[in-house]
Amino acid sequence: MGDDAPGTADDADRTATVRTEHADAATVAAALGPDETDSMRTRVDGDVVACTVARPTTGGLQSTLDDHLVNLRVADRVVERARAHAARDDAHSDAANEPHSDATDEPQTTDTDTHTDT
């Protein structure tokens, strides 16, 4: 068994490694962290997230891989949507920082309602 595989030959006879590519692999891998068990090891290599799972039974391996794939899909979608949202915010903030064509030299004022007790 390699250095990246969890467990030992005695307690984990079945192993599988899932490798997936992501635009932000480090963030996707970090999002998976809270759901990892002792039977899983996740690493990042460039744009690839690789998760090795070792379980003593085929059914356990399948169950863990199923859970991992669902979590992976959710993490990837959240990261993609966050990036899209950030890109939209950047586009809006760039437009908001441009000078307005109706700008005047007069300072802008804000009406405030102040009340003093007399």
Number of domains comprising the chain: 1
Q: Which helix (H) or strand (E) holds 89?
A: helix 58-96
pLDDT of residue 87: 86
CATH of residue 75's domain is 3.30.310.50
Confidence band, pLDDT 50/70/90 cuts, at residue 48:
very high
7 belongs to a structural domain: no
Buried b / exposed e along 25-57 (16+ C-beta atoms within 10 A): bebbbebbeeebeebbbbebeeeebbbbbbbee
19 belongs to a structural domain: yes
CA gap 114, 103 in Å, rounded:
28
pLDDT of residue 78: 92
pTM for the model stands at 0.64
Residue-number span of the structural domain to which 57 is assigned: 14-82
Beta strands in 1-118 (DSSP E): 14-21, 40-45, 48-55
93 belongs to a structural domain: no
109 belongs to a structural domain: no
The pLDDT tens digits of the residues spanning 68-108 come to 999 999 999 999 999 899 888 877 776 555 555 555 454 44
> What average pLDDT does range 58-62 have in this prediction?
96
